[in-house]
Amino acid sequence: METKEFNKTNNKLSVIGVGTWELSSDREENVKAIKYAVDNGVNFIDTAEMYNTEDVVGEAIKGYERERLFIASKVWPTHFRYGDVIKACEASLKKIGTDYLDLYQLHWPNKSVPIKETMRAMEKLVEEGKIKSVGISNFSLEEMKEAQAAMSKYEIASNQVEYSIITRDIEKTGVFDYCKENRIAVIAYSPLSHGKIFNNSELLADIGKISDKYGKTPAQVALSWLLHRENTFPIPKASNIKHMKENIEAADIKLGKEDLAFLSELEGKYYAEPIAKQHKKNEDKVNNYNFKEEKIN
């Protein structure tokens, strides 16, 4: 698989990574799918303490040379106090069975803990060699600037945000451009819109006009559209080898200019509200980005 520079880190990442949120209940199949990805050139795997899949990632990467892989995890906002960040990271390392993370990300902004305190812990983790780089996730333009200003020794490597053919909010809010200008990688989560692209027959038919032309599937073309965006690393989740293989092969597609332009029009017709906004409406934990503290044992 083609690789590209992950901006400020000195790493070359496979252009497609692997997401691991809400894996199916078939653990063995999940492990096999991740191994299949690694055997076929993927070196970038994303997990999080909140997903409960760090151990699955750990099992899948056993036996591979650690240096060949780029493993990213995330700390949940209830653990943003200095001591809790350190403990959460150590717990993640243990679950994954590794000495270090290549990227450790703040999963969501949390207004109830000063960002300086959280970043001080992240920088300490870098100094101790427990993490190689610091990332953020779901941070707005303003929050990105605050996060960077809160760091004294290192720079933010990436912002993981929702980005797909039908969810392009980051292009309108300035996040995409700011990332590009500041060499902060965009990790595109829910690149298949959390499966929503498969539930809309009209959208599928429209994407199908292009995918049929290339002899590919709509999923592959939706991923390929993202791969044609600069500075963007999609991390689709696939629970089985069939989906994983399909997603990996999307990296080989080169879309023509007119086809890209056609696909770029689809958001206007089929816009899907970002998952973050839906969470807010549901008044769940991420509502108002005001997380309560939760101690780690």
Binding site for ligand NAP (CB under 6 A): 19-22, 24, 46, 107, 137-138, 160, 189-195, 198, 219, 235-240, 243, 246-247, 275
Decide if 107 contacts 48 (C-beta within 8 A).
yes
CB of residue 135 vs ligand NAP: minimum separation in angstroms? Answer: 10
Strands 232-234 and 103-106: unpaired
Q: List Cβ neighbours of 194 (8 Å cut-off, separation of 6 or more).
A: 275
**Of 24 and 153, which CB lies nearer to ligand NAP in the complex structure?**
24
Give dist(CA 172, CA 179) in Å, integer.
13
CB of residue 86 vs ligand NAP: minimum separation in angstroms? Answer: 21
Phi then psi for residue 286, to 5 deg, are -85, 0
CB of residue 127 vs ligand NAP: minimum separation in angstroms? Answer: 25
- For residue 7, the SS3 value is coil
Decide if 86 contacts 121 (C-beta within 8 A).
yes
**Annotated catalytic residue within 36, 51, 104, 163:** 51
**Of 53 and 258, which CB lies nearer to ligand NAP in the complex structure?**
53
DSSP conformational letter for 172: H
**Of 24 and 282, which CB lies nearer to ligand NAP in the complex structure?**
24
Decide if 276 contacts 138 (C-beta within 8 A).
yes
Q: List Cβ neighbours of 258 (8 Å cut-off, separation of 6 or more).
A: none
Q: List Cβ neighbours of 189 (8 Å cut-off, separation of 6 or more).
A: 19, 46, 137, 160, 161, 162, 163, 235
CB of residue 24 vs ligand NAP: minimum separation in angstroms? Answer: 6
CB of residue 234 vs ligand NAP: minimum separation in angstroms? Answer: 8
**Of 137 and 232, which CB lies nearer to ligand NAP in the complex structure?**
137
- Annotated active-site residue 270? The verdict is no
Burial of 126 (0-12, 13-18, 19+ CB in 10 A): middle
**Of 40 and 240, which CB lies nearer to ligand NAP in the complex structure?**
240
**Of 115 and 136, which CB lies nearer to ligand NAP in the complex structure?**
136
CB of residue 242 vs ligand NAP: minimum separation in angstroms? Answer: 7
Give dist(CA 297, CA 274) in Å, integer.
33
Indicate which residues carry an active-site annotation. 51
